[in-house]
A and B are shown apart, each in its own frame.
Chain A
Amino acid sequence: MTTLEIRGLHVSVDTPEGEKPILNGVDLEIGSGQTHAIMGPNGSGKSTLAYSLAGHPKYRVTGGSVLLDGEDVLAMSVDARARAGLFLAMQYPVEVPGVTVANFLRTAKTAVAGQAPPLRAWIKEVGTAMDSLRFDREFSERSVNEGFSGGEKKRHEILQMELLKPKIAILDETDSGLDVDALRVVSDGVNRAKATTGTGIMLITHYTRILNYIKPDFVHVFVAGRVAEEGGPDLAERLEAEGYDRFLSAV
C-alpha cells in the first residue's frame, strides 16, 4: 500500500517579468489502486502540478511538501523519483532522435528495477504489451517519439507505464487526441496496471468520456492553482453540464 501525499504545494515559474506563482497550495492524497480525476480549465496549473511532481527543472517549488510513503519526493532528482515509483505520462511527450524505443525501454526498465531484466522474458513482455496497445513491432526500432502521431505518442506513454509498473502514475491529458479505439486500448492499459500492479492513478482530463472506461474514485476540480472542490464520479457529470463558471467567479 502506497500513498502520495501532497500538502500545501506552491510552485512558480521564472518569467522575464520575474517569478510567477502558478500553484497556490495544492492538497491531494493518492493511494494505491485509487483513481483520482483532476479536471479544470485551461491554464489552471494541472500540467504544472504534474511536472512539479516529476521534478521538471522549469518549475520552482516555493512551499509545501510531497511525500511518497513518507519519503521526501521534492528532495529527489528526476530519475530518483521515477525509481521511487512515480511515473508521468506527459501531455506532450518529447522526441529523442537516435535513441530506439527498444533501447530506451530496456534502459529505463534496468534503471527502475535496479538490474537488467532477463532478455528472453523481457522481449516477450515488451511484445505482449506492444500488442495490447496495438503497436506494430517495428516501432521498437524507431527513434523515441520521433515522427509518432499524436495518438501514437500517447499510447507509447502508456506502454512505458505498463512496463515500468510505477506505484503512482500521473496521466496528463493522455486521452486528448485519441480516436475511439485508441481511447479504449489506452484505458484497458491503465486498468491492467491498476489490477496487476495496484498503481494509483492521477488522471488529468478535460472530458468525461475517458471516465466511462477508467472509473474514478474521486474527482477534483482544479482552479487557479489549487483544488477548489472534491467529490465522487457524479461531480464530473456536473462539470460537463455546467462548466467551471461557478468556481471561476468564486476566485
Chain B
Amino acid sequence: MGISTESRGSRLASFRLADFPFPTGREEEWRFTPLADLAGLLAGDLAAETVIQVQSQAGASSGPSAGLARTGAGKDRPGRGEAELDDGEPGEVGVRVTTAGRDHPRIGLAPAPGDRVAAAAWAASESATLVTLDATAAGSLTVVRVIGGDGSEPARPSATHLAILAGAGARGTVLLEHTGLARLAQGVEIILEEGADLTVIAVHDWAEGSVHAASHRIRLGRDAHLKHVTVALGGDLVRVTPHIELAREGASLDALGINVTDSGQHHEAQLFIDHAAPNCRSRVAYKGALLGPAAHSVWIGDVLIRSQAEGTDTYELNRNLVLAKGAHADSVPNLEIETGRIQGAGHASATGRFDEEQLFYLQSRGIPEELARSMVVHAFFAELIGQIGCGEVEDALKVAVDAKLDQRRNTHS
C-alpha cells in the first residue's frame, strides 16, 4: 500500500502552472520518476506543437497504421496550423476531428492537471485537437497520430493537447499513436456524456531517446463506459498519469495497460481512479514485462471511494514479469475507502520471474527452452490484449508486442 497518509483526493490539481513548484523528487507523485530526464518539460516554456505533428483519420474503417503494422488509407490531415479541420457536418460516421482554441467551450472540461508537467502542457497548448463523437458514431475507429521528429535534429521540449468528447449515447474507438523522436508534455482529456461507450487506446512506441509525460484526465457521465488502454513499448521515459473520475451514477471503467520495457527504459503509469458517485464500477489490469537489466517500470494504482460512492465495485491488478537480473518493477496499489456501503473493493499485485512449472511442462513436450519462454511471455500479454475488444487493434498490438520481444531475443541471445 502507499506510504502517504494524506488523502489522494486532497492532492493539488490546478490549471495554473505557477501553483506547482518545481518538484524535488520526494513528492509522492514524483518519487519513482527520474526527474533529470524530464528537464525541459518542467520549465513551462514549451513549444506548442511546433515539432509535433498531429494527424488524424476520422471514422477510419480500414484500421490502425503508422506505428501499428500497416498504413490505412484515409483522409490524413496535418492538425497543426489549421483553425478548423472540419467545420462542416459530422462525417457519416458521426466523428469529427477539428483544431480548436484552448478557450473553446468543449476544451478544458476534464479534471485539472495534477502535476507540474501536466500544467506546463496546458499552459503551452493554445490550441488543441478536438475529437467529437456523437450518437451516430456507432463502432467507428478514429486514429490520431502524434509523430515526432525523424532524429535528424534533437527533439525540442514541446507540448500538445488532445480532447476527446463522446456525446450522449456515442459509441466508438479512438486510437492514439505516438511514434518518432520527441520530448513531449501532453494533455489528453476525455469526456464521456450519459450512456456513451468509448474505447481509447494510447500506444507509445517512441523512438529511442524520447521522453513523454502524458496526463490523461477523464470524466465519466451517467451510465457511461470507458475502456482505457495504455501501451508503452518505445521511448526512454514514458510516464502516463490517468486520472479518471467516475462522476455520475452507473459509470463504468475498464483500464488496461501493457508495458514491455527494456534496459535503459523507464515506463511509468500512475492511475487515480476517483469513485465520486454511487454504483460505479472499475476494473484495472496492468501487465508489464521487463526485458533487460536496467529496465524500470512503475505502476501506482490509487483508488479513492468517496463517501457518496455507495455501491462501488472496484478491483485493480498489476502483474510484472521480470526477465532479467537487475530489472526493477515498482508496484503500489492503494485503496482508500470513505464509505462502508460498497459492493466490493480489492487489489492484487504480483511481480515475479517465469513460472518454472509452466516452462517445465512445455519443455517436457520437446519445446526448446527459448521458445517455451517466449510462448509464456506472449501468452501473458495475449490474455490482456484479448480484452481490448477491437480485433484490428488487437492484432496490430500483438504484432508490435511480439516485435519488441523478439528484438530483445535477438539482441540478448
Whether the pair A164, B360 counts as a contact (CB closer than 8 A) is no
Which residues of the other chain, A, contact B315 by a CB distance below 8 angstroms? none
Which residues of the other chain, A, contact B379 by a CB distance below 8 angstroms? 96-99, 143
Q: A78-111 toward B: CB 8 Å interface, digit per residue (1/0)?
A: 1101110001101001111111000110011001
Q: How many residues of B contact A (CB 8 A)?
A: 23
Whether the pair A88, B382 counts as a contact (CB closer than 8 A) is no
Number of A-B contacts (CB under 8 A): 77
Which residues of the other chain, A, contact B383 by a CB distance below 8 angstroms? 97-98
Which of A78, A87, A99, A104 touches B363 (beta carbons < 8 Å)?
A78
Which residues of the other chain, B, contact A4 by a CB distance below 8 angstroms? none
Measured CA separation A143–B380 after assembly (Å): 12
Q: A102-128 toward B: CB 8 Å interface, digit per residue (1/0)?
A: 011001100110000000000000000
Q: How far is the CB of A140 from chain B (nearest CB, A)?
A: 15
Which residues of the other chain, A, contact B365 by a CB distance below 8 angstroms? 79, 82, 104, 108, 111-112, 160, 164
In the assembled complex, B358 has its CB within 8 A of some CB on chain A: yes
Q: Is the interface of B mostly helix, strand, loop or mixed?
A: helix
Whether the pair B363, A107 counts as a contact (CB closer than 8 A) is no
Q: A99-B376, A99-B379, A111-B371 are in contact. Are A94 and B366 (CB under 8 A)?
A: no
Measured CA separation A108–B361 after assembly (Å): 11
Q: Which residues A141-162 have CB closer than 8 A to chain B?
A: 143-144, 160
Whether the pair B366, A164 counts as a contact (CB closer than 8 A) is yes
Interface residues on A, range: 20 to 34
Q: A97-B379, A98-B383 are in contact. Are A54 and B366 (CB under 8 A)?
A: no
In the assembled complex, A57 has its CB within 8 A of some CB on chain B: yes
- What residue of chain B has the Cβ atom nearest to residue A89's Cβ? B364
Which of A57, A90, A111, A143 touches B368 (beta carbons < 8 Å)?
A111
Q: Which residues B337-383 have CB closer than 8 A to chain A?
A: 356-358, 360-369, 371-372, 375-376, 378-383
Q: How far is the CB of B93 from chain A (nearest CB, A)?
A: 32
Among B364, B380, B382, residue most surrounded by chain A Cβ atoms (within 10 Å): B364
- What residue of chain A has the Cβ atom nearest to residue B362's Cβ? A96
Whether the pair A107, B361 counts as a contact (CB closer than 8 A) is no
- What residue of chain B has the Cβ atom nearest to residue A98's Cβ? B379
Which residues of the other chain, B, contact A54 by a CB distance below 8 angstroms? 360, 364
Measured CA separation A56–B364 after assembly (Å): 9
Whether the pair A99, B360 counts as a contact (CB closer than 8 A) is no
Whether the pair A108, B366 counts as a contact (CB closer than 8 A) is yes
Whether the pair A83, B366 counts as a contact (CB closer than 8 A) is yes
Whether the pair A82, B376 counts as a contact (CB closer than 8 A) is no
Whether the pair A99, B366 counts as a contact (CB closer than 8 A) is no
Q: A79-B368, A111-B368 are in contact. Are A57 and B356 (CB under 8 A)?
A: yes
- What residue of chain B has the Cβ atom nearest to residue A163's Cβ? B365
Whether the pair A82, B366 counts as a contact (CB closer than 8 A) is yes
Whether the pair A96, B371 counts as a contact (CB closer than 8 A) is no
Q: A28-60 toward B: CB 8 Å interface, digit per residue (1/0)?
A: 000000000000000000000000001111000
Measured CA separation A93–B319 after assembly (Å): 23
Measured CA separation A78–B359 after assembly (Å): 10
Measured CA separation A77–B359 after assembly (Å): 12
Whether the pair B380, A98 counts as a contact (CB closer than 8 A) is yes
Which residues of the other chain, B, contact A77 by a CB distance below 8 angstroms? 363, 369
Measured CA separation A81–B363 after assembly (Å): 9
Q: A97-B383, A98-B380 are in contact. Are A112 and B366 (CB under 8 A)?
A: yes
Among A81, A96, A97, A108, residue most surrounded by chain B Cβ atoms (within 10 Å): A96
Whether the pair A111, B361 counts as a contact (CB closer than 8 A) is no
Q: A78-B364, A99-B375, A107-B375 are in contact. Are A94 and B357 (CB under 8 A)?
A: yes
Q: A97-B383, A99-B375 are in contact. Are A107 and B360 (CB under 8 A)?
A: no
Measured CA separation A94–B372 after assembly (Å): 14
Whether the pair B376, A96 counts as a contact (CB closer than 8 A) is yes
Whether the pair A98, B382 counts as a contact (CB closer than 8 A) is yes
Q: How far is the CB of A93 from chain B (nearest CB, A)?
A: 7
Q: B379-398 toward A: CB 8 Å interface, digit per residue (1/0)?
A: 11111000000000000000
Which residues of the other chain, B, contact A108 by a CB distance below 8 angstroms? 362, 365-367
Which of B360, B372, B380, B381 touches A57 (beta carbons < 8 Å)?
B360
Q: How far is the CB of A26 from chain B (nearest CB, A)?
A: 20
Which of B356, B361, B381 touches A96 (beta carbons < 8 Å)?
B361
- What residue of chain A has the Cβ atom nearest to residue B356's Cβ? A57
Measured CA separation A89–B380 after assembly (Å): 25
Q: How far is the CB of B46 from chain A (nearest CB, A)?
A: 41
Q: How far is the CB of B260 from chain A (nearest CB, A)?
A: 15
Q: How far is the CB of A150 from chain B (nearest CB, A)?
A: 16
Measured CA separation A144–B383 after assembly (Å): 13
Q: How far is the CB of B145 from chain A (nearest CB, A)?
A: 30
Which residues of the other chain, B, contact A98 by a CB distance below 8 angstroms? 376, 378-383
Which residues of the other chain, A, contact B375 by a CB distance below 8 angstroms? 96, 99, 103, 107
- What residue of chain A has the Cβ atom nearest to residue B367's Cβ? A111
Measured CA separation A191–B173 after assembly (Å): 54
Whether the pair B378, A78 counts as a contact (CB closer than 8 A) is no
Which residues of the other chain, B, contact A97 by a CB distance below 8 angstroms? 379, 383
Which residues of the other chain, B, contact A164 by a CB distance below 8 angstroms? 365-366
Whether the pair A79, B361 counts as a contact (CB closer than 8 A) is no
- What residue of chain A has the Cβ atom nearest to residue B377's Cβ? A98
Whether the pair A111, B366 counts as a contact (CB closer than 8 A) is yes
Measured CA separation A152–B171 after assembly (Å): 41
Measured CA separation A78–B346 after assembly (Å): 39
A-B CB proximity, top 3 nearest = A98-B379, A82-B366, A108-B365
Q: Which residues of B approach A to under 8 Å, CB–CB? A: 356-358, 360-369, 371-372, 375-376, 378-383
Listed A/B pairs (13) with beta-carbon separation below 8 Å: A57-B360, A77-B363, A78-B364, A79-B363, A79-B364, A79-B369, A90-B361, A94-B358, A98-B381, A99-B362, A107-B371, A108-B365, A164-B366
6 additional contacts, CB 8 Å, given A55-B364, A82-B365, A104-B365? Answer: A77-B363, A79-B364, A79-B365, A79-B367, A90-B364, A96-B358
